[in-house]
Amino acid sequence: MANVVVVGAQWGDEGKGKVVDIYTEFADEIVRYQGGNNAGHTLVVGDEKVVLHLIPSGVLHEGKRCIIGNGVVLDPEVFIMEVERLKKAGRLQDDQTLLLSESLHIIMPYHKRLDIAREAKSGDKKIGTTGRGIGPCYEDKIGRRGVRLMDLVDPVIFSRKLRENLEEKNILLERLGEEPLVYNEIYRTYQDFAQTLKKYMADTALVLSKELKAGKKLLFEGAQGTLLDVDHGTYPFVTSSSTCAGGAATGSGISPRDIHEIVGISKAYVTRVGSGPFPTELLDENGEKLRQVGAEFGATTGRPRRCGWFDAMVIRYAVRINGLTGIALTKLDVLSDFDTIKVCTGYRFEGKELETLPARLETFEKCEPVYEELPGWKSDISNIRSFEELPEKARNYVRRLEELSECPIVLVSVGPRRDQTMLLKNPFEA
């Protein structure tokens, strides 16, 4: 038996949704442990394209239970719309297969308004936030002002907390040049949301504890990526939660000892959305080629992603910070039409080779990537289903990434569909 955590090993958008969808076949419960609807998973099942923002990818498998843990911040409107869309498509037929932690925090209208207003005032110092209210919601959580799901479903407690928060938030909004929010409108709307949400509410930490004792296999799904972790990422160009593997324990209520395997998802190249350092970024025709061939546009925002060559420094850092036991390599097929492919093996700063990623942002921004050049395979690999059948140069590329990453590659993806996946090692059988 094994419990598995799936994390992004780069700056997010690595294809975690697809990998979780693949691994769900071997799990009993799928748990989302951090982030909010600023994340997006795009899945292709047969000819159907499904985009999820809050509900774990495992919902597409019949008989699997999906849990949204206490580390997530939830926009009720987005969640309800997602549930309705899944039900309409016949993907969610039993409400008992979806649970919400009673302790998760609720995104309020003032969070979204503050998020957008602050970013608009930031000028050339913009973080690149999605404007979904994620950061301000986590601020209130840490500041002990947050509204939890258990508060939302209690009309008396919710009323008190809403009044207290609006008293402060309206002052901030007015100073930012925004109109104040009205208590009555928010109260009525969110009490309507509460009627829908309360049927999914549970003490999910207790539920997971019982499942672990019963020998069930759990799959934990993170959002974003290691380099966007609020503690270990390229701060301040990060998200507002713990995206690393440690967040699976704090964001769900399980013990760290209950985690057995940790798989980091990495593209065969690298992308990031928003501002911040990106040493291997390509601002030429190669970068545009990666963007177009890889369809590198955000599932949540539609924003074009910045694209660059594979960065082994980033992956080695992710291996160390998360304790990765394996790497799932996605989008290998995107590189099929390149004559040569570069791989960043390290960084140089002021003439000196660096041992790891610099914590200082100003240093990171000035790092010079050290490249190694590998030959491309110049053939379509999207229909290949066995690693041994890949062109020799494609296999050599994967093995070189494995060497540079200092971690075994356990999965290779050559397209967006489920069947375009090579499972080299199953973490649930470890």
Q: Which residues form the catalytic set?
A: 13, 41
Handedness of CA 224, 229, 230, 233 (dihedral sign): negative
Q: Which residue has the tokens 């919601």?
A: 137
Rounded Cα distance between 138 and 420, Å, is: 37
Q: Give residue for tokens 């050599």.
A: 396
Q: Is the dihedral of CA 118, 121, 125, 127 positive or negative?
A: positive
Give the C-alpha separation, 92 to 62, whole Å: 8
In angstroms, the Cα distances linking 198 to 106, 137, 154, 156, 297 are 13, 20, 10, 15, 35
CA dihedral 52, 57, 63, 66 (to 10 degrees): -80
Residues 320 and 407: their CA atoms lie apart, in Å, by 10
Contacts within 8 Å (CB) and 24+ apart, 136-145: 136/110, 136/111, 136/112, 137/36, 137/73, 137/105, 137/106, 137/107, 137/108, 137/111, 137/240, 138/73, 138/105, 138/240, 138/241, 139/240, 140/105, 140/111, 140/165, 141/73, 141/105
Please give the Cα distance from 275 to 240 (Å, whole number): 15
Task: Classify residue 13 as exposed, middle or buried by CB count within 10 Å of its CB (0-12, 13-18, 19+).
Answer: buried
* Token pair 């075994």 in the structure block, residue: 408
Q: Nearest 5 degrees, angle CA 102-CA 106-CA 112?
A: 170
Angle, in degrees to the nearest 10, between helices 109-121 and 155-175: 20
Alpha helices by DSSP H, listed for 132-259, are: 134-142, 149-152, 155-175, 183-197, 204-213, 246-250
